[in-house]
Chain A
Amino acid sequence: MAPRLTLGLLLLLAPASLLLALLSGSIDIGLGTLLDSGSEPLARTVLFELRLPRALAAFAVGGMLALAGALMQVLLRNPLADPYVLGISGGAAVAALLSMLAGLGGLLLAGNAFVGALVSMLLVFGLAHGRGAWTATRLLLTGVVVAAGWGALISLILALAPERGLHGMLFWLMGDLSHTPPPLWGLLACGIGLLLCLPLARDLNVLARGELAASALGVAVPRLRLLLYFIASLLTAAAVTIAGSIGFVGLVIPHLLRLLGLRDHRHLLPGCVLAGGSLLILADTLARSVAAPQQLPVGVITALLGVPLFLYLLNRRGGGL
């Protein structure tokens, strides 16, 4: 399929998934209610104050994660990289869990998670930069080790936390969209992130061939690496702050789109925002309706949906990766 056609279909998928999210849930609301401004107030409240903000937040988070994943994969030139591989979500998680232990919630918790993510970002950057060359391998190893450190702290906090707090902590760790702040900031961050990346897209095509090859083709590699690191990290930090560490979207969406033919980053990056956002809306809709009134953590759904879909595409194309 031509890349532009794929991109066009993704452009349709986004509003379609948004509509589905608005219309499904424990209260049955039809298309008529959505369009008719004089309809029942309860239904309108559910639609515009619960479902719509949540779906938009899901779109922003999914878009940012997929975009950050694509950037990290090129930055580290490793197809296994995802937004969390360098420990950003770990830093955010430790800060978030500590805030929960201290009884904080809402914006304070989100703010602390964001600060935790930034601390981790700067820590990894400082350690990887250190002395000597800043190679992709060195950055990856530093990030993986710092992430392992955060992982140990997370386990420690979980072991020491009182039992009544555990449920909330686990949901945060798996990724959950039921306590999201207003979606405007997330959408804004996602849009700004994409706008910052698009002018770099052709540079990314060349960087994917190797740092030396990219330099030889006229890319200012050190500057590009810095930009990629900070854009990807800030996108991840924003996503994790909104919804906890939702797994899988950031790893799989970029590969999924590459398998669908969007190899050029000028197609891939906007494709990631659209597909990541849409997939997370759909996953979240399932998460809150499959076992209603019980809500499932959306991270579980993304993995359950993503694993078979990805394996199918991988096998269909016969080892394009």
Chain B
Amino acid sequence: MSTPLLEARGLAVEIGGKQVCTNLHLEIHAGQRWALLGINGVGKTTLLHTLAGLRAPAAGQILLSGQAIDKLPRRQVARQLGLLLQEEGDAFPGTVLETALSGRHPHLGRWQWESAEDIALAERALAQVGLAGLASRQLGTLSGGERRRLSLATLLCQQPQLFLLDEPTNHLDPHQQITLLELLAAQTREETRGLLMILHDINLASRFCGRALLLFDDGETLHGPGEQVLTAEHIARLYGHPVITLDGPHGPVYLPA
């Protein structure tokens, strides 16, 4: 099998004395879509940032296309791996197009300016998330959902092979949730890209992600194909709340009991 886009070997993650996970072995291959599920405060974001190489693990190794991520320059990491943060603050004003263009940052040389192609790429990304008409708007005038879609457009502009997404559907209405998850799914259908996203909606997770990684409160993890991992029994243990499953048009539908 080919080299995974991202591989965690014996990964242990800790934050503030809490064990997020121990001895996690995970391989994300091109063409795969993973959902990362767990209760509030279990350490999903911490794990995601660790996988992105933004914080050091307590033990173990993370390999990006076979190379130790902590040995790679950040610029090279950013050309392969894109991260959608949960929230982004903006201390200074800027326009929508300028923000989307910042996704080109890792691809440009130190003295290089954004080319016409870069701008065309940013405009296409804005159109893909439905923000085409807002290119020259100031960030401060955007709604929460529009900002979320702008962050996603920035990420599309970055053109990474691996997308790590922290609650991409935050602030989005149901229509936008489905549209954007379909857009992300289409990105990985080319079989050269993969994604891992934190979701709170089990139904979206099972519909859009073939695989799931469950993060339990005691630091245990369970991962694999959705149909094996996303069982009513596992979900009930994950959230400490019983669920029932029904047959729906896209597969099982999960309902909190």
Q: Measuring CB to CB, which residues of chain A are less than 8 angstroms from any residue of chain B?
A: 73-74, 77-79, 199, 202-203, 205-206, 208-210, 212-213, 215-221, 258, 263-264, 266, 319-321
| A215 near B106: Cβ-Cβ < 8 Å | no
Q: Measuring CB to CB, which residues of chain B are less than 8 angstroms from any residue of chain A?
A: 49, 52, 54, 73-79, 82-83, 85, 88-95, 98-99, 102-103, 105-106, 108, 110-111, 113, 138, 140, 158
Q: How far is the CB of B63 from chain A (nearest CB, A)?
A: 18
| B92 near A79: Cβ-Cβ < 8 Å | yes
| A220 near B74: Cβ-Cβ < 8 Å | yes
Cα-based distance from A232 to B79 in the complex (angstroms): 30
Cα-based distance from A220 to B72 in the complex (angstroms): 11
Q: How far is the CB of A73 from chain B (nearest CB, A)?
A: 8
Chain A residues in 8 Å Cβ range of B94 = 208, 263
Chain B residues in 8 Å Cβ range of A210 = 85, 88-90
| B98 near A217: Cβ-Cβ < 8 Å | no
- A320-B93, A321-B93 given as contacts; is B140 within 8 A of A217 (CB)? no
Cα-based distance from A209 to B83 in the complex (angstroms): 14
| A264 near B83: Cβ-Cβ < 8 Å | no
Cα-based distance from A117 to B169 in the complex (angstroms): 49
- A213-B85, A264-B98, A320-B138 given as contacts; is B91 within 8 A of A78 (CB)? yes
Chain B residues in 8 Å Cβ range of A266 = 113
Given A219-B105, A320-B140, 10 extra CB contacts under 8 A: A205-B102, A205-B105, A208-B90, A208-B91, A212-B85, A213-B85, A216-B83, A217-B105, A218-B74, A218-B76
Cα-based distance from A205 to B110 in the complex (angstroms): 13
Look across to chain A and name the residue whose beta carbon is closest to the beta carbon of B112: A202
- A215-B74, A216-B83 given as contacts; is B105 within 8 A of A79 (CB)? no
Look across to chain A and name the residue whose beta carbon is closest to the beta carbon of B53: A215
- A199-B111, A206-B105 given as contacts; is B52 within 8 A of A216 (CB)? yes
Chain A residues in 8 Å Cβ range of B93 = 258, 263, 320-321
| A263 near B91: Cβ-Cβ < 8 Å | no
| B92 near A263: Cβ-Cβ < 8 Å | yes
Chain B residues in 8 Å Cβ range of A216 = 52, 54, 78, 82-83, 85
Look across to chain B and name the residue whose beta carbon is closest to the beta carbon of A200: B110
Q: Can you show 5 pairs from A to B with CB atoms below 8 A apart?
A: A78-B91, A79-B92, A208-B91, A210-B90, A220-B75
Chain B residues in 8 Å Cβ range of A263 = 92-95, 98
Q: Is the interface of B mostly helix, strand, loop or mixed?
A: mixed
Q: How far is the CB of A216 from chain B (nearest CB, A)?
A: 4
Cα-based distance from A77 to B90 in the complex (angstroms): 9
Cα-based distance from A220 to B102 in the complex (angstroms): 15
Chain B residues in 8 Å Cβ range of A199 = 110-111
| B74 near A209: Cβ-Cβ < 8 Å | no
| A219 near B74: Cβ-Cβ < 8 Å | yes
Chain A residues in 8 Å Cβ range of B88 = 209-210, 213
Q: How far is the CB of A298 from chain B (nearest CB, A)?
A: 28
Cα-based distance from A209 to B113 in the complex (angstroms): 19
Chain B residues in 8 Å Cβ range of A319 = 140
Chain A residues in 8 Å Cβ range of B78 = 216-218
Chain B residues in 8 Å Cβ range of A212 = 49, 54, 85
| A217 near B158: Cβ-Cβ < 8 Å | yes
| B85 near A218: Cβ-Cβ < 8 Å | no
Look across to chain B and name the residue whose beta carbon is closest to the beta carbon of A321: B93
Chain A residues in 8 Å Cβ range of B52 = 216
Look across to chain B and name the residue whose beta carbon is closest to the beta carbon of A202: B105
Cα-based distance from A120 to B102 in the complex (angstroms): 35
Chain B residues in 8 Å Cβ range of A78 = 91
Chain B residues in 8 Å Cβ range of A73 = 91-92
| B140 near A206: Cβ-Cβ < 8 Å | no
| B90 near A218: Cβ-Cβ < 8 Å | no
| B102 near A206: Cβ-Cβ < 8 Å | yes
Among B92, B95, B108, contact of A208 (Cβ-Cβ < 8 Å): B92
A-B pairs, 8 with minimum CB distance:
A218-B78, A218-B106, A218-B75, A216-B83, A77-B91, A217-B105, A208-B92, A218-B74
Q: How far is the CB of B38 from chain A (nearest CB, A)?
A: 20
Q: How far is the CB of A30 from chain B (nearest CB, A)?
A: 44
Look across to chain B and name the residue whose beta carbon is closest to the beta carbon of A204: B92
Q: How far is the CB of B206 from chain A (nearest CB, A)?
A: 28
| Residue picked from A215, A221, A264, most chain B C-beta under 10 Å | A215
- A216-B52, A263-B93 given as contacts; is B102 within 8 A of A209 (CB)? yes
Cα-based distance from A296 to B54 in the complex (angstroms): 52
Chain A residues in 8 Å Cβ range of B103 = 217
Cα-based distance from A79 to B73 in the complex (angstroms): 30
Cα-based distance from A219 to B106 in the complex (angstroms): 8
Chain A residues in 8 Å Cβ range of B108 = 202
Chain A residues in 8 Å Cβ range of B140 = 319-320
- A258-B93, A263-B98 given as contacts; is B85 within 8 A of A217 (CB)? no
Cα-based distance from A291 to B77 in the complex (angstroms): 60
Cα-based distance from A280 to B82 in the complex (angstroms): 44
Q: How far is the CB of A252 from chain B (nearest CB, A)?
A: 15
Chain B residues in 8 Å Cβ range of A215 = 54, 74
Q: How far is the CB of A268 from chain B (nearest CB, A)?
A: 10
Chain A residues in 8 Å Cβ range of B106 = 217-218
